[in-house]
Amino acid sequence: MFFDINAKPGKSISIFLGILLFGLAVMLYGSASHSRHADNPQDKLVPTPTQMWKSFSNAIFRPVIEQEFNDDGELIPNDEPKNLREAFKVGKHWEMLRNGEWQLLEDTLASGYRVLIAMLFIFAGVLLGLYMGMFPYLDKLLYRFILFFDKIPALAVLPILFIVFGLDETAKISLIVIGVAPTIILDTYLRVKDVPKENITKGMTLKASTQEIIYKIVFPQVFPKVLDTLRLNFKAVILFLIAGEALAAEAGLGYRIFVVRRYMDMATIIPYVIWISVLAFSIDFFLRRWIKKKFIWIKK
Amino acid sequence: MGSSDYCLNINNAHQKYDEKTILNGINAKIKQGEFVTVVGPTGCGKSTTLRLILGSELPSKGKVLYNDIMITKPDRNRGVVFQKYSLFPHKTVRENIMFGPELETFNLFEPIIQPFRYKRRRKEFKVIADQYLKRVRLLEHADKYPNMLSGGQRQRAAIAQAMIMKPDVILMDEPFGALDEGTREEMQIFTLEQWKDSKQTVLFITHSLEEAIFMGTRLIVISQYYQHDAGEEGSKIVKDIDIPWDHPRSTKIKNTTQFKDLMESIRYEGLDPDHLQNIGDFDLSHIDSVRNLM
C-alpha cells in the first residue's frame, strides 16, 4: 500500500507524514543528549536543548554588567541590575538594552549586508544575460567566455581574491558574485533565447523600439523565471558567504560558527546552523509565494 | 505608373538556407484590398514567403517591395497573426490590444512631466481597445491572461491586436491551424467580416485548401514539385488564380460542385507531389500574376 503509485493519502495522514521525520529527528537528538549527559555532565558534543537555548539567548542579547573585584579576586557586590528583569524594575531597561551586546543581530546584519551587495551585482548579471540573449554580437563575444568562467570553482579562486582584495569585504562579496553570477547570467541568457521569436517580431509590427522590445516584451517574460533561479541559487549564495566569512571576518553568521568551533561550543553552533537554515527557508518560502501570486500568467 | 498600383510586390525572390534553396524565384504583385490565400505542400516555403513580406527575413536574391519601398525589417505597416505566440503572455487581453497604440505614442518622460495628458491618453486607448474587444467578442474576457483563454479566443485577441494598428497589410500564418473544426469555420467568417470592414490587404497562409478557396479573392499555390529542365530546386508559384465567388460568401458554397471541382483540380495540379507540372503549364491566370519562364 505504501508503494502504490495511485495512492491518495488523506489530509491528516499527509500532515502527519510531513512532520514525522522532523519529530523523529528531534526525539532522537533529545534521547542521545540525555543519555550522554547522564554519563558525563560535562559533555560538549551533544548539548541539551536548555544549554542551546541559554547560549542562543545570550547571542540574541547579553547585558553588560559592571563588576568590580577586590584584591583577592572576589566579586564586590553592588546594586546594579544583573539581568533585564531586574533592570526593568528599577527603570534602567532602556539603558541596558542600549549598552548590551546583540551578537546575533550584528552577525545577521553583517552577513545580510554582504548578501545584499552581492545580490546587486548578481542582478547586474541578469541584465548582462538579457543583453547577451538579445544581441547576437554580444552573444558571440561573451557566451563561450562565461561558459568557461562558470566552470572555475569559485572556492579555488578565494585565495586569489584575498591576495588581490585583501581581507576586507570586497573579497568576500566578490566570492559570492563569482560563484553565483555566471550561473544566473547563463540562465537568463537561455531564458531570453526561449522567448518565441514570434513575440519579438510581433513587437516590431507594433512599432516597439529595441529598448521597448527588451524591457517591455522580453524582460517581463523572463523575470519571474530568473527570480525562480535566483531563489534556487540562494543556497549557493549562503555557501559562499560562509566560506568567505570562515576565513576572515569580524562578524557574520559563518564567522561566528567557525570562531566558536575552536572551543567545541556545539551549544552555539547548532542554534546558529538552525537560525541560518530558518532564515534561508523563510526567504525562499516568501519569495516563492510572492512569485506565485504576482505572476499568475505563468503557464502551470 | 504600373507598379505603384500594387501594395506588395515580390520580385524574383529567392531564399536559401545553408545551400538549400527554399524559394526559387517567387513573383507576385498584390493589389490593395485583396484577400490572398496561399497554400502549398509541407515544406514548400509558405511561411518563408510570409516572413519575407513581414521583413523578419531578407531574400538571398531578389526584392520584396511594400509600396515600392524595399522591406528591410518588420514595421507597423504590416501586422501579423501567427498560429501561436502572437500575444504577450504577461499582459492581459486588454493590455495586449492597447500595447500597440501605447508603444506608438510612448515617451519615457511623459508620465512624469505630463501625467494628466498621459492618463487621459491611456483612457482613450482603453476606450478604443474596448471597441475592438467588442468587435472580436472578447469584452468579458478583457482582464484575463492569454493562458486562460481558449485557442479561438486567443486568435481573436491576436487579430484585434494586429488590427488596432490599422496596418495596410495583415499577414496571417496558419492562424486557425490549431483550432477545432467548428471554431475554425466561425473564425473564417469572423475574419472575412473584419476584412470587409477594414479594406485591408490580407495575405493568409493555410494548409487547408478548403479554407483557402472559401476565404480568398485570389489563391496562390507555392510548390517545390514541378518539372524542371535545368535541375533546379526550390519552390515556385505554380498556380495563381482568381476565386470567382463574390464576397460575402455563404458557407454553403463549400458544398457546391463547382467548389469541389476547383478544390480537386488544385489538389491534383498544385499539391500532389507525384504530379509534376511543366513550368510552361502553370495556371497563372490571375490578372496580376507574373509569368517568368527564365
- Domain, as residue range, for B199: 1-6+13-77+167-294
Same domain assignment for residues B292 and B151: no
- Domain, as residue range, for A15: 11-46
Q: Among B139, B166, B193, give the residue marking a domain's end.
A: B166
Positions in chain A whose pLDDT score sits under 50 = none
Given this model, what pLDDT does residue B157 score? Answer: 93
Flag whether B29 is in a domain: yes
Q: From the list A197, A207, A295, which residue is nearest B100 (CB)?
A: A207
Number of domains in chain B: 2
Same domain assignment for residues A149 and A273: yes
User: DSSP string covering chain B, please?
Assistant: --GGGEEEEEEEEEEEETTEEEEEEEEEEEETT-EEEEE-STTSSHHHHHHHHHTSS--SEEEEEETTEE--S--TTEEEE-SS--S-TTS-HHHHHHHHHHHHT--TTHHHHSHHHHHHHHHHHHHHHHHHHHHTT-GGGTTS-GGGS-HHHHHHHHHHHHHTT--SEEEEESTTTTS-HHHHHHHHHHHHHHHHHH--EEEEE-S-HHHHHHH-SEEEEEES-EE-TT---SBEEEEEEE--SPSSPPGGGGGSHHHHHHHHHHIIIII-TT--EEGGG-B--STT------
pLDDT at B274 over 50: yes
Number of domains in chain A: 2
Which of B20, B32, B23 is closest to B288 using CA atoms?
A: B32
CA A28 to chain centre: 27
Same domain assignment for residues A140 and A277: yes
Flag whether B174 is in a domain: yes
Flag whether A120 is in a domain: yes
Q: How far away is chain B from the Cα of A133, in angstroms, using its nearest Cα? A: 17
Same domain assignment for residues A17 and A141: no
**B88 contact residues in A (CB cutoff 8 A):** 199, 202, 217, 221
Same domain assignment for residues B154 and B192: no
Flag whether B181 is in a domain: yes
Which of B203, B132, B118 is closest to B165 using CA atoms?
A: B132
Same domain assignment for residues B150 and B43: no
Given this model, what pLDDT does residue B286 score? Answer: 80
**B47 contact residues in A (CB cutoff 8 A):** none
Same domain assignment for residues B198 and B293: yes
Flag whether A86 is in a domain: no
Q: How far away is chain A from the Cα of B275, in angstroms, using its nearest Cα? A: 35
pLDDT at B3 over 70: no
In a mutational test of the A interface, the residue from B56, B108, B144 whose CB has the highest number of chain A CBs within 10 Å is B56
Q: Does the distance separating the beta carbons of A201 and B80 come in below 8 Å? A: yes
CA closest to A221 among chain B residues = B90
Flag whether B194 is in a domain: yes
Flag whether B82 is in a domain: no
Same domain assignment for residues A135 and A254: yes
Flag whether A53 is in a domain: no
**A295 contact residues in B (CB cutoff 8 A):** 90
Given this model, what pLDDT does residue A249 score? Answer: 83
Cis preceding linkage at A271, omega within 30:
no
Q: Does the distance separating the beta carbons of B75 and A205 come in below 8 Å? A: yes
Same domain assignment for residues B116 and B174: no
Same domain assignment for residues A15 and A110: no
Contacts of B291 (CB under 8 A, 6+ apart): B282, B284
Flag whether A77 is in a domain: no
Same domain assignment for residues A26 and A169: no
Q: How many CB pairs under 8 A join A and B?
A: 69
Contacts of A49 (CB under 8 A, 6+ apart): A30, A33
Same domain assignment for residues A39 and A183: no
Report residue B4's pLDDT band, with 50, 70 and 90 as the boundaries: low
Flag whether A126 is in a domain: yes
Given this model, what pLDDT does residue B293 score? Answer: 54
What are B's interface residues with A at a Cβ cutoff of 8 A? Answer: 54, 56, 73-76, 78-80, 82, 84-86, 88-91, 99-100, 103-104, 106, 145-147, 161-162, 165, 167
Same domain assignment for residues B112 and B160: yes
Report residue B2's pLDDT band, with 50, 70 and 90 as the boundaries: very low
Q: Among B123, B150, B166, give the residue marking a domain's end.
A: B166
Q: Among B143, B166, B189, give the residue marking a domain's end.
A: B166
CA closest to B104 among chain A residues = A207
Given this model, what pLDDT does residue A119 score? Answer: 95
Q: What is the mean pLDDT of residues B261-280?
A: 82
Same domain assignment for residues B224 and B148: no
Flag whether B162 is in a domain: yes
In a mutational test of the A interface, the residue from B88, B92, B170 whose CB has the highest number of chain A CBs within 10 Å is B88
Interhelix angle A169-194/A234-247, rounded to 10 degrees, is 160
Same domain assignment for residues B259 and B288: yes
Flag whether A51 is in a domain: no
Same domain assignment for residues B47 and B60: yes
pLDDT at B66 over 50: yes
Flag whether B294 is in a domain: yes
Q: How far away is chain A from the Cα of B179, in angstroms, using its nearest Cα? A: 19
Q: Does the distance separating the beta carbons of A212 and B78 come in below 8 Å? A: no
Flag whether A35 is in a domain: yes
Residue range B8-59, pLDDT digits in tens: 999 889 998 888 888 888 888 998 889 999 998 888 889 999 999 999 999 9
CATH number at residue A205: 1.10.3720.10
Same domain assignment for residues B214 and B247: yes
Given this model, what pLDDT does residue A89 score? Answer: 82
CATH number at residue B27: 3.40.50.300
Same domain assignment for residues A167 and A243: yes
Residue range B103-114, pLDDT digits in tens: 888 877 888 888
CA closest to B103 among chain A residues = A208
Flag whether B84 is in a domain: no
Residue range A103-156, pLDDT digits in tens: 999 999 999 999 999 999 999 999 999 999 999 999 999 999 999 999 999 999
Same domain assignment for residues B190 and B276: yes
Same domain assignment for residues A40 and A152: no
Q: List the grid coordinates of A235.
A: 543556497
Same domain assignment for residues B106 and B129: yes
Q: How far away is chain B from the Cα of A202, in angstroms, using its nearest Cα? A: 6
Given this model, what pLDDT does residue B1 score? Answer: 40
